[in-house]
Amino acid sequence: MKSWIFFLGSLLLTIGAIVFVKYWLGSYENPGYVLIGIGNWSMEASLIVFLTGLIIIFYILYLFFNFLGWLIRLPGHLKNRSRSIKFNRSQEALVAGLVGSAEGKWEHAEKILIKHASHSGAPLIHYLTAAKAAQSRGAYDKRDEYLKKAAAQAPGSDVAIGLTQAELHFSANQFDKALETLTKLHSIDSTHASVLKLLHQTYQHLGDWQGLRKLLPSLNKNKVLMEAEIKKLEIDAFSGVLKQAIKKDDTNELRLLWTEIPGHIKKNPLVAAVYFAAMIDAGLSADIENELVEVLTINWDETLLMLFGSIKFSDAFKQLEIAESWLPHHRSDVLLLTTLGKLSLKCQELTKAEDYLTQSIAKDPTVQAYRLLGELYTSQGDEHKANNCYKQGLELASKGVIRQVDETVLSQ
């Protein structure tokens, strides 16, 4: 449009100039002429006619070459126009595909995305969205096909494609395939937050606690998770590793693994309880006496206290003395009072045992406390009191069973 305005403007200016020159030359007695001769051929014309002819020829040639250039550029224009139309359609298809996926119209979204993917400025998005749609309708073969096409279309987007592939495998519970892809991605970029996050979730689902244990430093260093989440993962990972070692029934491996666990994790009651329980079960109570006392003193925990009460100390009186040293700090702890009664009974300090067990029952009656108190009265030959304790213990146990049954029925 601008070129035509320029052309018409210059033409009007030229015509105006010709009129001006004509009147200017007409003021002379001899306005001049032009003679052109070539061989036997000659042409004579007035100056004004000659100039007018030149200008006309110029504009004719201008229009001719302009038209010729337009004809030459025409295929390119048509091609660009076609490409532009296809691009616009692909953009519309992308929007329609995303909307279709959001609305759950998986098959429709998949078809429209693939149809226009080759003409899109962002074919990667088309194929990745189509892969998600295919998986949502259970077409895993199509999903994998679209992911391959995405890789072919965008060879420099390995992480984006791989991460989408891993996410799809993960959501389809194909954890082994997800782990395979994520391991490759981790070797490409070991600090990628999304890769690390999905990798630790995959390890958890697979129960690969060793893998998760090795990943913990990267998760912590790259601030992928909150501090509280990291701590929970540490507990899960090291507890899982210990449990796997326990299943192998190899105490040497268990001990070696315990030495490799960081000190702050060893002091966590959840992790410590797994190790101490395994060592007690293996008959190696003597090896953990001091460490169990140290952890329990720092982090008071009922499970550890129960383990402490069940352990066979080399010196039973020392064990009782240690437990009594905790009493000033945990006077209201029913389990501690019961444990003190149990240890006093073991040391044949019957008066102490009766006092501790009576206090425990007064605060919160338990089956264990009634049983221990019954055993104490039996050892003293007081069958009436013993039978009364056993009876109350059985009634308490029965109530507990009935309560559990009722809760189970109500939950159903």
Residue-wise pLDDT tens digits, 282-306: 888 888 999 999 999 999 999 999 9
Residue 341: what pLDDT? Answer: 93
Asked if the model's pLDDT at residue 196 lies above 60, the reply is: yes
Per-residue buried b or exposed e for 210-233, using 16+ beta carbons within 10 Å of the residue's own CB: ebbbebbebbeeeebbeeeebeeb
Residue of higher predicted confidence among 79 and 250: 250
- Mean per-residue pLDDT for 199-211? 92
pLDDT (tens digit per residue) in 120-179: 667 777 777 788 888 888 888 888 888 888 888 777 788 888 888 999 999 889 999 999
A 10 A CB-CB count for 81 gives 10
Of the given ranges (204-208, 225-229, 235-239, 367-371), which has the lowest mean pLDDT? 225-229
Weakest-pLDDT range from 93-102, 144-153, 342-351, 397-406: 93-102
pLDDT at 177: 92
Output DSSP code: residue 331.
Answer: T
Q: Which domains does the chain have, with CATH numbers?
A: 157-225 (1.25.40.10), 316-412 (1.25.40.10)
Query: What is the rounded distance in angstroms from the CA atom of residue 81 to the CA atom of residue 104?
Result: 34
Q: Distance from CA of residue 271 to its chain's centroid?
A: 26
Q: Are 240 and 252 in contact (CB under 8 A)?
A: no
Q: What is the pLDDT of residues 344-360, one digit of tens each?
A: 999 999 999 999 999 99
93-to-17, 83, 102, 130, 205 alpha-carbon distances in Å: 57, 15, 14, 11, 37
pLDDT value, residue 315: 87
User: For position 225, what pLDDT does the model report?
Assistant: 85
Residue position matching structure tokens 């995959």: 202
Q: What percent of the chain has pLDDT over 90?
A: 32
Q: How far is CA 5 from CA 15, 35, 55, 236, in A?
A: 15, 36, 18, 77
Question: Are 308 and 292 spatial neighbours (Cβ–Cβ below 8 Å)?
Answer: yes
**42 near 36, Cβ under 8 Å?**
yes
The pLDDT, as a whole number, for residue 20 is: 61
Q: Token pair of 213, please?
A: 């244990």
